[in-house]
Amino acid sequence: MKGLVTIYAAIVMIILSAIIGCSAPTPTPGKSHLLMARVLHDDSISIKAGETKSLDVTLETRKSGPGRVIYEISGAPEGLEVTIEPSQFMAQPETVYHSTITIKASPELAPGEYRLSFGQNFEKVFSGVGYITVNVE
């Protein structure tokens, strides 16, 4: 029975992370993951050429930490400037941290859908990649 509960919890974590747009750490059999840290962010944004918009990123450390957090955004095409601040910080347990992803589209950027990789590393806790789709109108 305990094994079934563990498998069920792992499946729920994977499904929830896909729904809310965060990367899920690899589940460890026999360990509850309900109190593990998580990163929350929107997985898409619409922007017009010449505009600047931002997305909020929230790290809920829960019982995890302390440890260094490093965020990296990659895959932006020429004409799409993407930054995240803060991109590195020390995180403590039972704390919520906020970062902001700023997306600036040049006036010359062609309309289309661009996919960015959002690397997330929380030292000794998890490492993963999320994705953000930028729809340029």
User: What 3-state class would DSSP assign to 88?
Assistant: strand
Enter the pTM of the model. Answer: 0.76
> How high is the pLDDT of residue 102?
98
The mean pLDDT value of the chain amounts to 86
Rounded CA gap, 75 and 101, in Å? 14
Question: Is residue 74 over pLDDT 80?
Answer: yes
Residue 98 is assigned to a structural domain of this protein = yes
CA distances from 111 to 21, 25, 47 (A): 24, 34, 9
Residue 106 is assigned to a structural domain of this protein = yes
> How high is the pLDDT of residue 7?
57
Question: Is residue 32 over pLDDT 90?
Answer: no
Indicate the number of domains in the chain.
1
Residue 119 is assigned to a structural domain of this protein = yes
Residue 103 is assigned to a structural domain of this protein = yes
Tokens 């998890």: give the residue.
126
Residue 116 is assigned to a structural domain of this protein = yes
> How high is the pLDDT of residue 35?
77
Residue 2 is assigned to a structural domain of this protein = no
Residue 23 φ/ψ, nearest 5 degrees: -85, 145
Residue 18 is assigned to a structural domain of this protein = no
